[in-house]
Amino acid sequence: MSANDLLNFLLNEQREVATLEDALRLIEKYELDDSAKHMNHMTKDGFLMYLQQEEGSIFNPAHKEVFQDMSQPINHYFISSSHNTYLMEDQLKGHSSTEAYIKALMKSCRCVELDCWDGAHGEPIIYHGHTLTSKVLFKDVIKAIKEYAFKTSEYPVILSLENHCTLEQQKLMAQHMISILGSALLTSPLEDQMPTAFPSPQELKGRFIIKGKRLNKLDAVYSNTSPGVEEDCVSEEDEAAETNNSKTDPNGQKAKAKKSKIKLAKQLSDLAIYCKSVHFSGFEHAEDNQAFYEMSSFKESKAFNLAETAANAFIHHNMTKLSRIYPAGSRTASSNYNPVPLWNAGCQIVALNFQTPSKEMDLNQGRFRSNGLSGYVLKPEFLWLGS
Protein backbone atom coordinates (compact mmCIF):
# COMPACT_ATOMS: atom_id res chain seq x y z
CA MET A 1 0.00 0.00 0.00
CA SER A 2 1.10 3.55 -0.62
CA ALA A 3 1.66 6.16 2.09
CA ASN A 4 -1.72 7.66 1.19
CA ASP A 5 -3.39 4.24 1.55
CA LEU A 6 -1.82 3.85 4.97
CA LEU A 7 -2.95 7.33 5.98
CA ASN A 8 -6.49 6.44 4.91
CA PHE A 9 -6.30 3.35 7.14
CA LEU A 10 -5.08 5.42 10.11
CA LEU A 11 -7.82 7.99 9.70
CA ASN A 12 -10.82 5.82 8.82
CA GLU A 13 -10.09 2.44 10.41
CA GLN A 14 -7.91 3.29 13.40
CA ARG A 15 -9.74 6.60 13.95
CA GLU A 16 -6.45 8.31 14.76
CA VAL A 17 -5.38 11.90 14.31
CA ALA A 18 -2.68 11.40 11.69
CA THR A 19 -0.90 13.12 8.82
CA LEU A 20 0.96 11.93 5.75
CA GLU A 21 4.19 12.45 7.70
CA ASP A 22 2.91 9.93 10.30
CA ALA A 23 2.26 7.37 7.56
CA LEU A 24 5.75 7.88 6.12
CA ARG A 25 7.25 7.49 9.60
CA LEU A 26 5.49 4.14 10.06
CA ILE A 27 6.75 2.92 6.68
CA GLU A 28 10.28 3.90 7.62
CA LYS A 29 9.95 2.20 11.00
CA TYR A 30 8.26 -1.08 10.11
CA GLU A 31 8.79 -1.83 6.42
CA LEU A 32 11.39 -4.59 5.94
CA ASP A 33 11.73 -4.42 2.15
CA ASP A 34 14.20 -1.69 1.20
CA SER A 35 12.83 -1.27 -2.33
CA ALA A 36 9.27 -0.80 -1.03
CA LYS A 37 10.53 1.58 1.63
CA HIS A 38 12.37 3.58 -1.05
CA MET A 39 9.06 3.98 -2.93
CA ASN A 40 7.25 4.98 0.31
CA HIS A 41 5.17 1.81 0.12
CA MET A 42 4.33 -0.74 2.82
CA THR A 43 4.15 -4.45 2.03
CA LYS A 44 1.92 -7.00 3.77
CA ASP A 45 4.79 -8.07 6.02
CA GLY A 46 5.52 -4.50 7.02
CA PHE A 47 1.84 -3.84 7.68
CA LEU A 48 1.54 -6.94 9.89
CA MET A 49 4.68 -5.88 11.74
CA TYR A 50 3.06 -2.51 12.47
CA LEU A 51 -0.25 -4.07 13.60
CA GLN A 52 1.54 -6.30 16.10
CA GLN A 53 3.15 -3.35 17.86
CA GLU A 54 1.60 -1.21 20.56
CA GLU A 55 1.05 1.79 18.30
CA GLY A 56 -0.87 -0.45 15.88
CA SER A 57 -3.13 -1.88 18.55
CA ILE A 58 -6.75 -0.77 18.81
CA PHE A 59 -6.32 -0.71 22.59
CA ASN A 60 -6.17 2.78 24.02
CA PRO A 61 -2.86 3.06 25.94
CA ALA A 62 -4.50 5.54 28.33
CA HIS A 63 -6.66 2.66 29.57
CA LYS A 64 -3.64 0.80 30.93
CA GLU A 65 -4.32 2.69 34.13
CA VAL A 66 -7.57 2.79 36.11
CA PHE A 67 -9.49 5.59 34.39
CA GLN A 68 -13.12 4.84 35.23
CA ASP A 69 -15.16 6.05 38.17
CA MET A 70 -14.62 3.41 40.88
CA SER A 71 -17.07 4.94 43.36
CA GLN A 72 -20.20 3.33 41.92
CA PRO A 73 -21.86 0.33 43.69
CA ILE A 74 -20.12 -2.91 42.70
CA ASN A 75 -23.20 -4.18 40.83
CA HIS A 76 -22.59 -1.37 38.30
CA TYR A 77 -19.44 -3.15 37.08
CA PHE A 78 -18.56 -6.19 35.03
CA ILE A 79 -16.38 -8.35 37.30
CA SER A 80 -13.74 -10.72 35.92
CA SER A 81 -14.84 -14.15 37.19
CA SER A 82 -13.63 -17.75 37.15
CA HIS A 83 -15.56 -21.02 37.30
CA ASN A 84 -14.15 -24.07 39.15
CA THR A 85 -11.02 -22.03 39.67
CA TYR A 86 -9.16 -24.91 41.33
CA LEU A 87 -8.96 -26.96 38.11
CA MET A 88 -5.90 -26.92 35.87
CA GLU A 89 -7.51 -29.13 33.21
CA ASP A 90 -10.84 -30.87 32.54
CA GLN A 91 -13.81 -31.33 34.89
CA LEU A 92 -13.61 -35.12 35.28
CA LYS A 93 -10.01 -36.19 35.88
CA GLY A 94 -8.14 -32.88 35.93
CA HIS A 95 -5.61 -31.73 38.48
CA SER A 96 -6.76 -29.41 41.29
CA SER A 97 -4.14 -26.96 42.49
CA THR A 98 -3.48 -23.71 44.32
CA GLU A 99 -1.53 -22.78 41.18
CA ALA A 100 -4.82 -22.43 39.28
CA TYR A 101 -5.97 -19.76 41.77
CA ILE A 102 -2.65 -17.95 41.51
CA LYS A 103 -2.84 -17.87 37.69
CA ALA A 104 -6.42 -16.57 37.72
CA LEU A 105 -5.69 -13.88 40.31
CA MET A 106 -2.59 -12.73 38.44
CA LYS A 107 -4.85 -12.27 35.38
CA SER A 108 -6.90 -9.87 37.57
CA CYS A 109 -9.76 -12.34 38.13
CA ARG A 110 -11.85 -10.86 40.98
CA CYS A 111 -14.28 -13.72 41.66
CA VAL A 112 -12.95 -17.24 42.30
CA GLU A 113 -14.89 -20.39 43.09
CA LEU A 114 -14.24 -22.81 45.95
CA ASP A 115 -16.04 -26.17 45.69
CA CYS A 116 -15.82 -27.39 49.30
CA TRP A 117 -16.20 -30.96 50.58
CA ASP A 118 -15.35 -32.91 53.73
CA GLY A 119 -11.76 -34.12 53.69
CA ALA A 120 -9.79 -36.69 55.62
CA HIS A 121 -8.40 -35.88 59.07
CA GLY A 122 -11.14 -33.32 59.63
CA GLU A 123 -9.78 -30.79 57.09
CA PRO A 124 -12.09 -29.49 54.32
CA ILE A 125 -10.89 -29.98 50.76
CA ILE A 126 -11.60 -28.46 47.35
CA TYR A 127 -12.29 -30.56 44.26
CA HIS A 128 -14.99 -31.21 41.65
CA GLY A 129 -17.33 -33.44 43.65
CA HIS A 130 -18.22 -36.94 42.46
CA THR A 131 -15.41 -36.93 39.89
CA LEU A 132 -11.81 -38.18 39.70
CA THR A 133 -10.28 -34.70 39.89
CA SER A 134 -7.53 -34.43 42.48
CA LYS A 135 -8.04 -32.69 45.81
CA VAL A 136 -6.42 -29.69 47.47
CA LEU A 137 -6.73 -28.50 51.07
CA PHE A 138 -9.13 -25.61 51.63
CA LYS A 139 -6.70 -23.84 53.94
CA ASP A 140 -3.88 -24.06 51.36
CA VAL A 141 -6.16 -22.41 48.78
CA ILE A 142 -7.02 -19.61 51.21
CA LYS A 143 -3.31 -19.05 51.91
CA ALA A 144 -2.57 -18.80 48.17
CA ILE A 145 -5.50 -16.41 47.65
CA LYS A 146 -4.29 -14.24 50.53
CA GLU A 147 -0.80 -14.01 49.04
CA TYR A 148 -1.70 -13.31 45.42
CA ALA A 149 -5.12 -11.62 45.50
CA PHE A 150 -3.91 -8.05 45.21
CA LYS A 151 -0.65 -8.32 43.26
CA THR A 152 -2.28 -7.38 39.93
CA SER A 153 -5.31 -5.47 41.20
CA GLU A 154 -6.06 -3.82 44.54
CA TYR A 155 -9.81 -4.10 44.08
CA PRO A 156 -11.99 -6.58 46.04
CA VAL A 157 -11.99 -10.33 45.51
CA ILE A 158 -15.19 -12.37 45.85
CA LEU A 159 -14.82 -15.92 47.18
CA SER A 160 -17.76 -17.89 45.77
CA LEU A 161 -18.36 -20.86 48.08
CA GLU A 162 -20.10 -24.01 46.90
CA ASN A 163 -20.49 -25.70 50.26
CA HIS A 164 -21.03 -29.45 50.67
CA CYS A 165 -19.33 -29.83 54.06
CA THR A 166 -20.66 -31.08 57.37
CA LEU A 167 -21.09 -28.61 60.23
CA GLU A 168 -17.74 -29.27 61.86
CA GLN A 169 -15.78 -28.76 58.67
CA GLN A 170 -17.85 -25.66 57.84
CA LYS A 171 -16.74 -24.22 61.17
CA LEU A 172 -13.14 -24.98 60.17
CA MET A 173 -13.69 -23.22 56.84
CA ALA A 174 -14.86 -20.10 58.66
CA GLN A 175 -11.99 -20.36 61.13
CA HIS A 176 -9.40 -20.69 58.34
CA MET A 177 -10.79 -17.70 56.42
CA ILE A 178 -10.89 -15.51 59.53
CA SER A 179 -7.41 -16.46 60.75
CA ILE A 180 -5.66 -16.43 57.35
CA LEU A 181 -7.37 -13.47 55.66
CA GLY A 182 -7.47 -11.43 58.87
CA SER A 183 -8.78 -7.88 58.72
CA ALA A 184 -8.98 -8.05 54.91
CA LEU A 185 -11.99 -10.39 55.26
CA LEU A 186 -15.29 -8.53 55.29
CA THR A 187 -17.19 -9.79 58.35
CA SER A 188 -19.74 -6.98 58.69
CA PRO A 189 -21.15 -4.21 56.49
CA LEU A 190 -19.06 -1.07 56.11
CA GLU A 191 -21.97 1.10 57.21
CA ASP A 192 -23.00 1.90 60.79
CA GLN A 193 -26.62 1.26 59.88
CA MET A 194 -28.37 -1.17 57.57
CA PRO A 195 -27.24 -0.39 53.98
CA THR A 196 -29.63 -0.07 51.07
CA ALA A 197 -27.08 -0.51 48.28
CA PHE A 198 -23.69 -2.07 47.61
CA PRO A 199 -20.46 -0.29 48.51
CA SER A 200 -18.07 0.60 45.69
CA PRO A 201 -14.87 -1.10 44.52
CA GLN A 202 -13.05 1.96 45.85
CA GLU A 203 -14.49 1.45 49.33
CA LEU A 204 -13.73 -2.27 49.19
CA LYS A 205 -10.09 -2.05 48.08
CA GLY A 206 -8.01 -4.85 49.48
CA ARG A 207 -11.02 -6.71 50.93
CA PHE A 208 -12.36 -10.23 50.53
CA ILE A 209 -16.13 -10.72 50.10
CA ILE A 210 -17.70 -14.12 50.80
CA LYS A 211 -20.51 -15.28 48.52
CA GLY A 212 -22.55 -18.04 50.12
CA LYS A 213 -25.68 -19.06 51.98
CA ARG A 214 -26.85 -17.11 55.01
CA LEU A 215 -29.26 -18.23 57.75
CA ASN A 216 -30.86 -14.82 58.30
CA LYS A 217 -31.24 -11.37 56.85
CA LEU A 218 -28.33 -8.94 56.89
CA ASP A 219 -30.13 -6.56 59.22
CA ALA A 220 -29.63 -9.18 61.97
CA VAL A 221 -26.08 -7.79 62.19
CA TYR A 222 -27.56 -4.60 63.65
CA SER A 223 -30.02 -6.32 65.97
CA ASN A 224 -29.52 -6.23 69.75
CA THR A 225 -31.72 -9.28 70.25
CA SER A 226 -30.58 -12.89 70.64
CA PRO A 227 -27.96 -14.14 68.15
CA GLY A 228 -30.43 -16.55 66.54
CA VAL A 229 -30.02 -20.18 65.48
CA GLU A 230 -26.59 -21.76 65.49
CA GLU A 231 -27.40 -23.94 62.49
CA ASP A 232 -30.25 -24.69 60.09
CA CYS A 233 -30.92 -26.32 56.74
CA VAL A 234 -30.49 -24.49 53.44
CA SER A 235 -30.66 -25.69 49.83
CA GLU A 236 -27.34 -27.05 48.62
CA GLU A 237 -27.16 -25.16 45.29
CA ASP A 238 -25.00 -27.85 43.68
CA GLU A 239 -24.04 -26.78 40.15
CA ALA A 240 -23.29 -30.35 39.17
CA ALA A 241 -26.86 -31.35 40.00
CA GLU A 242 -28.37 -28.70 37.73
CA THR A 243 -29.95 -29.98 34.56
CA ASN A 244 -30.07 -28.20 31.25
CA ASN A 245 -33.64 -29.16 30.33
CA SER A 246 -35.63 -26.85 32.61
CA LYS A 247 -38.21 -24.64 30.95
CA THR A 248 -38.34 -20.93 31.75
CA ASP A 249 -41.01 -18.41 30.81
CA PRO A 250 -40.23 -14.77 29.84
CA ASN A 251 -40.50 -13.68 33.49
CA GLY A 252 -37.95 -16.28 34.56
CA GLN A 253 -40.55 -18.49 36.31
CA LYS A 254 -39.96 -22.22 36.32
CA ALA A 255 -41.46 -25.31 37.88
CA LYS A 256 -40.12 -25.92 41.36
CA ALA A 257 -37.72 -28.84 41.59
CA LYS A 258 -36.68 -30.65 44.72
CA LYS A 259 -33.34 -29.42 46.03
CA SER A 260 -31.10 -31.29 48.42
CA LYS A 261 -30.64 -29.69 51.81
CA ILE A 262 -27.52 -29.13 53.86
CA LYS A 263 -27.08 -27.90 57.41
CA LEU A 264 -25.34 -24.52 57.54
CA ALA A 265 -23.16 -23.46 60.47
CA LYS A 266 -23.71 -19.96 61.86
CA GLN A 267 -19.96 -19.27 61.81
CA LEU A 268 -19.88 -19.71 58.03
CA SER A 269 -23.29 -18.12 57.48
CA ASP A 270 -22.23 -14.90 59.22
CA LEU A 271 -19.46 -14.31 56.68
CA ALA A 272 -21.90 -13.83 53.77
CA ILE A 273 -22.39 -10.06 53.95
CA TYR A 274 -22.95 -8.45 50.55
CA CYS A 275 -23.33 -11.68 48.53
CA LYS A 276 -25.99 -13.93 50.06
CA SER A 277 -26.83 -16.78 47.68
CA VAL A 278 -30.55 -17.28 47.06
CA HIS A 279 -32.59 -19.36 44.64
CA PHE A 280 -33.99 -17.42 41.67
CA SER A 281 -37.80 -17.60 41.53
CA GLY A 282 -38.48 -15.10 38.77
CA PHE A 283 -37.94 -11.39 38.20
CA GLU A 284 -41.21 -10.29 39.77
CA HIS A 285 -40.49 -12.29 42.92
CA ALA A 286 -36.96 -10.87 43.07
CA GLU A 287 -38.19 -7.30 42.73
CA ASP A 288 -40.78 -7.74 45.47
CA ASN A 289 -38.88 -9.94 47.90
CA GLN A 290 -35.14 -9.94 47.23
CA ALA A 291 -32.83 -7.61 49.14
CA PHE A 292 -30.05 -5.90 47.18
CA TYR A 293 -27.39 -8.18 48.75
CA GLU A 294 -29.25 -11.39 47.82
CA MET A 295 -27.94 -12.77 44.55
CA SER A 296 -28.65 -15.73 42.30
CA SER A 297 -26.50 -17.95 40.12
CA PHE A 298 -27.72 -19.04 36.69
CA LYS A 299 -26.50 -21.93 34.58
CA GLU A 300 -25.60 -20.75 31.09
CA SER A 301 -28.65 -22.24 29.32
CA LYS A 302 -31.06 -20.48 31.67
CA ALA A 303 -29.11 -17.23 31.46
CA PHE A 304 -29.05 -17.26 27.65
CA ASN A 305 -32.76 -18.01 27.57
CA LEU A 306 -33.51 -15.07 29.87
CA ALA A 307 -31.19 -12.79 27.88
CA GLU A 308 -33.06 -13.70 24.69
CA THR A 309 -36.66 -13.82 25.93
CA ALA A 310 -36.67 -11.35 28.82
CA ALA A 311 -33.75 -9.03 28.14
CA ASN A 312 -35.35 -5.89 29.57
CA ALA A 313 -36.36 -7.67 32.78
CA PHE A 314 -32.86 -9.17 33.12
CA ILE A 315 -31.24 -5.76 32.62
CA HIS A 316 -33.60 -4.17 35.14
CA HIS A 317 -32.85 -6.95 37.65
CA ASN A 318 -29.11 -6.38 37.29
CA MET A 319 -29.44 -2.66 37.95
CA THR A 320 -29.93 -3.40 41.65
CA LYS A 321 -28.78 -7.03 42.10
CA LEU A 322 -25.74 -9.11 41.28
CA SER A 323 -26.05 -12.09 38.92
CA ARG A 324 -23.53 -14.88 38.48
CA ILE A 325 -23.48 -17.11 35.39
CA TYR A 326 -21.62 -20.42 35.21
CA PRO A 327 -20.87 -22.95 32.42
CA ALA A 328 -23.07 -25.98 31.81
CA GLY A 329 -22.14 -29.19 33.61
CA SER A 330 -21.88 -30.84 30.19
CA ARG A 331 -18.70 -28.84 29.48
CA THR A 332 -16.54 -31.63 30.91
CA ALA A 333 -13.54 -30.54 28.80
CA SER A 334 -13.69 -27.12 30.50
CA SER A 335 -14.82 -25.37 27.34
CA ASN A 336 -16.44 -21.93 27.52
CA TYR A 337 -19.51 -20.06 26.30
CA ASN A 338 -19.69 -16.62 24.72
CA PRO A 339 -19.85 -14.09 27.60
CA VAL A 340 -20.89 -11.11 25.44
CA PRO A 341 -24.70 -11.64 25.31
CA LEU A 342 -24.73 -11.98 29.11
CA TRP A 343 -22.67 -8.83 29.63
CA ASN A 344 -25.16 -7.16 27.28
CA ALA A 345 -27.93 -8.21 29.70
CA GLY A 346 -26.06 -6.50 32.53
CA CYS A 347 -24.80 -9.68 34.22
CA GLN A 348 -21.77 -8.81 36.33
CA ILE A 349 -20.21 -12.16 37.31
CA VAL A 350 -19.97 -14.14 34.07
CA ALA A 351 -17.73 -17.02 35.17
CA LEU A 352 -15.49 -18.76 32.65
CA ASN A 353 -13.04 -21.66 32.79
CA PHE A 354 -9.82 -19.67 33.05
CA GLN A 355 -7.72 -22.83 32.57
CA THR A 356 -8.86 -23.19 28.94
CA PRO A 357 -7.33 -20.96 26.23
CA SER A 358 -10.18 -20.08 23.88
CA LYS A 359 -11.80 -17.30 21.89
CA GLU A 360 -14.17 -16.79 24.80
CA MET A 361 -11.30 -16.31 27.22
CA ASP A 362 -9.69 -13.91 24.73
CA LEU A 363 -12.93 -11.89 24.81
CA ASN A 364 -12.82 -11.92 28.62
CA GLN A 365 -9.18 -10.87 28.78
CA GLY A 366 -9.83 -8.17 26.20
CA ARG A 367 -12.77 -6.84 28.21
CA PHE A 368 -10.78 -6.70 31.43
CA ARG A 369 -7.49 -5.52 29.94
CA SER A 370 -9.05 -2.08 30.13
CA ASN A 371 -9.27 0.01 33.30
CA GLY A 372 -5.81 -0.82 34.53
CA LEU A 373 -6.30 -4.61 34.75
CA SER A 374 -8.38 -3.90 37.84
CA GLY A 375 -10.83 -6.75 37.12
CA TYR A 376 -13.68 -4.23 37.28
CA VAL A 377 -15.08 -2.48 34.20
CA LEU A 378 -17.91 0.01 34.60
CA LYS A 379 -20.99 -1.07 32.67
CA PRO A 380 -22.43 1.27 30.02
CA GLU A 381 -24.61 3.84 31.72
CA PHE A 382 -27.90 2.52 30.30
CA LEU A 383 -27.24 -0.83 32.05
CA TRP A 384 -27.22 0.75 35.49
CA LEU A 385 -29.17 3.99 35.09
CA GLY A 386 -31.70 2.82 32.55
CA SER A 387 -32.97 4.85 29.63
pLDDT score, position 229: 63
pLDDT in tens, 346-357: 999 999 999 888
Structural domains present in the chain = 3-58 (1.10.238.10), 66-383 (3.20.20.190)
Confidence of residue 294 (pLDDT cuts 50, 70, 90): very high
Instruction: Check 41, 63, 76, 83 and give the catalytic one.
Output: 83
Instruction: Check 38, 41, 76, 128 and give the catalytic one.
Output: 128
13-17, 37-41, 141-145, 372-376, range with the lowest pLDDT: 13-17
Active site residue 41: no
Rg of the chain on CA atoms, in Å: 24
Provide the β-strand partners of residue 125: 117, 137
CA nearest neighbour of 124 among 177, 174, 173: 173
| Residue 225 pLDDT exceeds 70 | no
* Entry pTM: 0.87
| Residue 284 pLDDT exceeds 60 | yes
Of residues 311 and 233, more confidence is placed in: 311
pLDDT in tens, 80-131: 999 988 887 666 666 778 999 999 999 999 999 999 999 988 999 998 777 7
CA nearest neighbour of 283 among 299, 303, 300, 260: 303
What average pLDDT is seen over the chain?
A: 90
pLDDT score, position 286: 96
Active site residue 83: yes
Confidence of residue 266 (pLDDT cuts 50, 70, 90): very high
Confidence of residue 332 (pLDDT cuts 50, 70, 90): confident
The arithmetic mean of pLDDT across residues 145-166, rounded, is: 97
